[in-house]
Chains A and B, each alone.
With several copies, the nearest count.
Chain A
Amino acid sequence: MNVNDKQKTITKDITVLYFADLADEANCHEEKVSISQSTSLNELYEHLNARHHFSRPQSELRVAVNDYFVKWTEIINDGDQVVFIVPVAGG
């Protein structure tokens, strides 16, 4: 077992995209994040919130994984793209 294999067993590498207010606050559109196997979507948001100090609580957001809205209870898989969605304002 080399170091890479060992890494894979304990973390997941995901991509997070930011839109609207969250992009301003994170000051980027996209970031790569490594999370532990057991990290939930809630925990991921709290983790990123600690880093970026988002102005919105998780309760105001929806979440999308791989370009579909999902429930906050959805499991994160290695390679997933996660997006926290602030209230939309189209039309």
Chain B
Amino acid sequence: MENSVNSPNKEVQDTDVHRQSMRINRGIDEAYALAERDGFALLDVAIDERKLREMLDNDSCGAFVSFEGRVRNHNNATSVERLSYYGYEALAINQGRQIIEEAKQKFDITHAVAIHRIGALEIGDIAVWIGVVSAHRYPAFDACRWLLDTIKADIPVWKQEYYGDESSKWLRNNG
């Protein structure tokens, strides 16, 4: 992927053509309301895990499994300073709704909620949050893992890593 390494100058230009993909078109409250209704939303500010957990409170559920994808300080051997996520919000919302529905059909779960954050993230920030509740434990694990894999494969979000010298690189998912 040599040709995907951008020079510092190129980055300024990139920021411009990607600016609209770093923000969501709805308000924060609207995004959470969407997550509550459809089980999926994009967000362009820090993810409030407590709000999402509240959506999953259910007295009939004995199992709650959650996944948080956090920005790592390295990718393979390279030190990472920060990361930007870019999203195609309208498609992501439509696709996310379908993925949550499919998870509920495939697995014996009660409910699932997932949020992907876009914009500039720092090391340790949560990029993606997935929570699943079910009566018994295995379906919650299976569904959470499947949701993560499917979100990584099908939700139109892309990321660029920035390094110490302000160079950057488009990333491919490598787990």
Contacts and interface: CB of A to CB of B under 8 A. Distances in A.
Interface of A: 17-21, 23-24, 26-30, 55, 64, 67-69, 83, 85-91
B4 to A, nearest CB: 7
A63 to B, nearest CB: 11
Contacts of A23: 14, 17-18, 21
A91 B129 CA distance: 9
B4 A21 contact: yes
A27 B137 CA distance: 34
B69 A67 contact: no
Interface residues on B, range: 35 or more
Interface of B: 3-4, 6, 10, 13-14, 17-21, 69, 85-88, 90-91, 93-95, 116, 127-128, 137, 148, 151-159, 170-173
B173 A91 contact: yes
B91 A88 contact: no
Contacts of A85: 88, 91, 156
A67 B152 CA distance: 18
Nearest to A55: B3
Given A20-B158, A67-B93, A90-B159, 16 more contacts: A18-B17, A20-B170, A23-B21, A24-B10, A29-B19, A55-B3, A67-B90, A68-B91, A68-B94, A83-B88, A86-B158, A88-B157, A89-B170, A90-B85, A90-B127, A90-B152
7 contacts: A19-B21, A26-B17, A68-B91, A69-B95, A85-B156, A90-B85, A91-B148
Contacts of A90: 85, 87, 116, 127-128, 151-152, 155, 157-159, 173
